[in-house]
Amino acid sequence: MDQAQKTSGKRTELQMARSMCWHCQSEVTGEYFCEQCIKVQPLSKELDYFTCLGLPRLLNIDINTLEAKFYALSRAFHPDFYQNKTESEQTISLENSALLNTAYRTLKDPIQRAEYLLKLEAGSAKDIRTSPPADLFEEILALQEDLEEYRSAQAGQNQVGLEQLRARLTVDRETLEQRQREMETRLFELFTTWDSLQSRQSQTEQAGRHLRQGKDAVLKEMRELLSNRTYLRNIVNDLIATTA
Amino acid sequence: MAYSEKVVDHFNNPRNMGSFKKDDEDVGTGIVGAPECGDVMKLQIKVQDEKIVDAKFKTFGCGSAIASSSLATEWLKGKTIEEAHKIKNTDIVQELNLPPVKIHCSVLAEDAIKAALNDYKKKTDTKESK
């Protein structure tokens, strides 16, 4: 909670691993470099990816802003610029760049961004207990049986039967793909809901609890959508691979 | 990362693949899924006098998930309901030498066993209350 407020609030600059310069021992006041000796400073390993890229913990992010920040930081930390520096500086440059790259890759993709947010907000995304989608499982098993039937029909001689099966599976696939699109639409709606909840300030304790409940509900629905999306993706891929 | 020999063996020669009629009174069915990878596993037991006389599975997922469920059906056969409850995912991990990234496959198999046992219990409970 405190963490979330911090990152959604003003605090967007990078946190350094230490408040003291590793080289000249003076207090670090510059952003990524010591103002006294101009040495590069290591990023804190606990830094979350949003903070790392100077972004609030929101789900709708402006890709241009993300990219600009990433390029600027890449230039600051890139190992190429540290070839003639000391070993310590080269190590810091490498580690900072690695963290930066992972942060950028994760946040660039909306699905990975949502998965990452779930992990941050729920400790571990898996800890959010959702009931398994029994209907979806039944549906997937039925489709897998149809696929098996199709595979054995492929081995046989019945061309007419095979074509009929293929036509049916194609319709099934199109229906599933439509559902995937609907799921994504809903997921992006939740992005916006999350962002508006994140920007809301709660004055009283009761309002704070209420806000937390609202956030948890959004996280839970996102968790469900992302899981169901994975199940659907697998069966759609199997359908495409088999009937292609 | 290479699969262990035992995983490959179960994958190439899956034991007890198939299914029973879901609505049969002596059959318990468990269907579970792993949200991380999208694998879906169905495991069924056939029970007579509190003893599991047969077990079958169908798993749509990776080699480790198939091997875990195949091994689970082998272990289930001949066990009592009570003994079946004691099968742990760590036993499967050990037997199949599953690497850390595949531990969730064994968890899935344990969940499937539990789900099948619960389903059977529910069936017998409603039968007795009739």
Q: Is B62 a catalytic residue?
A: no
Contact B35 A238 (CB under 8 A): no
- Closest partner residue to B38 (CB to CB) among A130, A141, A231 is A231
How confident is chain B (130 residues) per 10-residue block, as mean pLDDT?
86 92 94 90 95 96 94 96 96 94 94 96 83
> Is B21:B27 a contact under the CB 8 Å cutoff?
yes
> Is A66:A108 a contact under the CB 8 Å cutoff?
yes
The reply to whether B114 touches chain A by the CB within 8 Å rule is no
**Hey, what are A147's tokens?**
């696929």
| Residue B80, beta-bridge partner list | B51
**Hey, what are A2's tokens?**
């405190």
- The whole-number pLDDT of residue A30 equals 62
CA-based radius of gyration for chain A: 24
Question: How far A79 CA lies from chain B's nearest CA (Å)?
Answer: 30
The reply to whether A151 touches chain B by the CB within 8 Å rule is no
- Closest partner residue to A132 (CB to CB) among B33, B38, B39 is B33
> Is B40:A141 a contact under the CB 8 Å cutoff?
yes
Among candidates A106, A153, A89, A125, which has minimal Cα distance to A223?
A125
The reply to whether B18 touches chain A by the CB within 8 Å rule is no
- The whole-number pLDDT of residue A33 equals 80
Q: What pTM did the predictor assign?
A: 0.78
Q: Is B37 a catalytic residue?
A: yes
- Residues of chain A where predicted confidence (pLDDT) is lower than 70: 1-18, 28-31, 123-130
User: Within 10 A of A11 (CB to CB), how many other CB atoms are there?
Assistant: 11
User: Within 10 A of A29 (CB to CB), how many other CB atoms are there?
Assistant: 11
- The whole-number pLDDT of residue A133 equals 86
Question: How far A242 CA lies from chain B's nearest CA (Å)?
Answer: 14
Choosing from B37, B40, B81, B107, the catalytic residue is B37
- The whole-number pLDDT of residue A128 equals 62
The reply to whether A132 touches chain B by the CB within 8 Å rule is yes
Choosing from B105, B108, B112, B115, the catalytic residue is B105
